[in-house]
């Protein structure tokens, strides 16, 4: 005997399907409206909960470097479970879905023959659904839903909606990852250029005898642009009478500052050091107030400054936030301080050949360096500058022959100009196998008294950086074009339907068409 649903039940079912379909459109719009990966994942989980009302939801992403899937977003799942859960493709049900790329829906864990008895005992749920997140035949991860709160099992209708949601989620995740990768590469280029600039300025102190205190001031000014710190403190002991140099960005107590100084002295004392340093450490420790520093909070980077195997100073950067600094911040700081140590060591022997050492350092730089003295004589021209300006590798140049030999007249004219406060310009040059973009910064060079020493040009090849900008613009343009064409056609057909060209429409149909038109717009 066949059974049919009452008319009102059929209407309610259709209304529910229509409502969930509209909700799916709304959720898809939300997850595609952000390019931040974490926010995108949270919106996917929130949207899946709104549509399916599952008791527990989780989204696992595949890390291709470790070939493991971990939970990246979840709802109603304990934090310890999120932290401890990781599986490989092919392991467990979620791993098998990731490996096969096929969804899995279990309506009854007790009766489903695909679940072994051991698996049945593992699951306290009545039903669950696992959907792969696929993009261009590549599995990005899976989304898991356990038990609908209304007690119903996941159905074929649910599967269709889940597939649609998973497809939208995979596209949004891939777009977010692409943008994040572009931003990371740009940040790496920016940090690389920033690091090179700092190292060059530190190296320049060798040539012009700017002194140790100038190095500290230079480092402080550079770190202001790089790190978000609360306390920046340095100690460089050379003659035995130096003091702490402290800079703060936010209001900090005397106790906090004293704890930072004491921590620096402890680190320095644990390293090999000279008798002069040992005596000064004792004096500085005696001068510090007695404070309780047993429960420090926040983040700290201590970087020692060593010359000839002996510690002569230390730099400390302190943030009250527990996640104040990244591994990249620590690496960069160690590189800069290490170069500072090399600079201090070289400063001790500048009388015996400071110019040769300067030339050696400049020659090893990845940026082109050109310098003219106060009399407009060419004094520095490193190999990178020769390469990017199209000059012979071993030819000797005067100022006049240098400008005449540059292949691009506009660059020669820019380098020849006098500068007061500095100037910067980009040039696109023809080169093999493809054009390059050069960024040239021209700045005056002065000593500590402000007396002019000449002018300096730093030449950086920013072709890759500009290519990243172009790729980002092209990405946005392609997406806009690919969306605009079908959406325009869809909107046109919706307009025809609403105008009655294809026949009369009911009020309910008109409401749906209006909603579709709004979403298309």
pLDDT exceeds cutoff 80 at 65: yes
For residue 345, the model assigns a pLDDT of: 67
pLDDT tens-digit map of 69-93: 999 888 888 888 888 888 898 888 8
Q: How far is Cα 401 from Cα 91, in angstroms, rounded to an integer?
A: 70
Mean pLDDT of 383-412: 86
Q: pLDDT by residue (tens digit) across 432-468?
A: 677 888 888 898 888 777 778 888 889 888 888 888 8
What pLDDT is attached to residue 13? Answer: 47
Q: What is the DSSP string of 346-373?
A: HHTTGGGTHHHHHHHHHHT-SSEEEEEE
Largest separation between any pair of C-alpha atoms in the chain: 107
- Classified as helix, coil or strand, 97 is helix
Half-sphere exposure in the Cβ direction for 400 (13 Å, CA): 0
Window from 59-63, 222-226, 413-417, 501-505 with minimum mean pLDDT: 222-226
* Least confident segment among 74-78, 93-97, 117-121: 117-121
| DSSP-derived pairing of the beta strands 128-135 and 68-75 | unpaired
Flag whether pLDDT at 112 surpasses 80: no
Candidate from 6-15, 166-175, 220-229, 378-387 with smallest mean pLDDT: 6-15
pLDDT at 119: 46
Average pLDDT over residues 152-162: 81
The least confident of 197-206, 207-216, 294-303, 496-505 is 207-216
User: Beta strands of 107-236 (E only): which ranges?
Assistant: 128-135, 138-148, 231-236
Alpha carbon separation from 112 to 145, 158, 160, 247, 493 (Å, rounded): 17, 18, 20, 67, 45
**Lookup: tokens for 88:** 């490989």
The owner of tokens 């595949």 is 62
How far is Cα 195 from Cα 197, in angstroms, rounded to an integer? 5
pLDDT band for position 200 (50/70/90)? Answer: low
Confidence bin at 121 (pLDDT 50/70/90) = very low
Distance, CA of 445 to CA of 420 (rounded, Å) = 10
**Which one is predicted more confidently, 22 or 119?**
22
The pLDDT assigned to 351 comes to 43
Q: Is the pLDDT at 124 greater than 60, yes or no?
A: no
pLDDT category, 297, cuts 50, 70, 90?
confident
Please give the pLDDT value at position 401.
86
The residue among 428, 356, 334, 358 whose CA lies nearest residue 388 is 428
3-state secondary structure of 13: helix
pLDDT of 397: 86
Q: What is the mean pLDDT of the chain?
A: 79
Quick count: other Cβ atoms within 10 Å of Cβ 127? 22
């Amino acid at each position: 005997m066949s059974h049919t649903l009452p008319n009102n039940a059929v209407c309610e079912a259709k209304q529910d399907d229509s409502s969930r379909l509209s909700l799916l459109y709304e959720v898809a719009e939300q997850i595609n409206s952000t390019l931040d990966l974490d926010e995108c994942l949270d919106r996917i989980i929130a949207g899946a909960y709104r549509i399916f009302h599952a008791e527990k939801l989780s989204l696992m992403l595949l890390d291709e470097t470790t070939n493991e899937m971990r939970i990246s977003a979840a709802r109603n799942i304990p934090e310890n479970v999120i932290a401890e859960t990781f599986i490989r493709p092919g392991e467990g049900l979620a791993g098998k879905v990731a490996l096969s790329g096929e969804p899995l829906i279990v309506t009854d864990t007790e009766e489903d023959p695909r679940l072994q008895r051991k698996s049945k005992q593992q699951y306290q749920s009545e039903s669950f659904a696992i959907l792969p997140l696929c993009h261009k035949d590549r599995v990005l991860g899976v989304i898991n839903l356990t038990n609908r709160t209304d007690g119903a099992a996941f159905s074929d209708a649910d599967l269709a909606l889940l597939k649609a949601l998973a497809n939208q989620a995979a596209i949004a995740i891939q777009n977010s990852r692409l943008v994040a990768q572009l931003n990371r590469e740009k940040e790496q280029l920016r940090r690389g250029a920033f690091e090179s600039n700092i190292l060059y300025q530190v190296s320049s102190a060798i040539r012009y005898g700017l002194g140790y205190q100038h190095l500290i001031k230079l480092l402080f000014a550079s770190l202001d642009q790089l790190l978000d710190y609360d306390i920046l403190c340095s100690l460089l002991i050379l003659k035995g009478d130096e003091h702490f140099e402290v800079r703060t960005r936010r209001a900090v107590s005397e106790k906090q500052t004293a704890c930072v100084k004491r921590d620096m002295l402890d680190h320095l004392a644990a390293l090999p050091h000279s008798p002069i340093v040992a005596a000064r450490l004792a004096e500085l420790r005696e001068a510090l107030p007695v404070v309780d520093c047993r429960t420090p909070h926040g983040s700290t980077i201590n970087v020692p400054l060593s010359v000839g195997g002996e510690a002569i100073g230390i730099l400390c950067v302190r943030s009250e936030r527990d996640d104040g600094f990244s591994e990249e911040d620590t690496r960069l700081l160690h590189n800069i301080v290490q170069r500072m140590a090399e600079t201090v060591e070289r400063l001790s022997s500048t009388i015996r050949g400071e110019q040769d050492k300067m030339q050696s350092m400049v020659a090893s730089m990845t940026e082109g360096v050109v310098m003219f003295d106060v009399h407009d004589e060419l004094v520095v021209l490193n190999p990178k500058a020769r390469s990017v300006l199209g000059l012979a590798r071993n030819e000797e140049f005067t100022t006049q022959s240098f400008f005449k030999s540059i292949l691009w007249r506009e660059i020669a004219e820019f380098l020849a100009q006098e500068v007061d406060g500095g100037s910067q310009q980009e040039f696109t040059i023809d080169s093999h196998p493809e054009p390059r973009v050069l960024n040239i910064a021209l700045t005056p060079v002065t000593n500590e008294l402000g007396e002019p020493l000449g002018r300096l040009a730093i030449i950086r090849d920013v072709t890759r950086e500009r290519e990243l900008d172009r790729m980002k613009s092209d990405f946005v343009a392609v997406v806009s074009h690919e969306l605009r064409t079908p959406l325009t056609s869809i909107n046109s057909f919706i307009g025809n339907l609403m105008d009655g060209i294809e026949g009369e429409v009911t009020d309910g149909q008109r409401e749906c068409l209006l909603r579709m038109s709004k979403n298309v717009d």
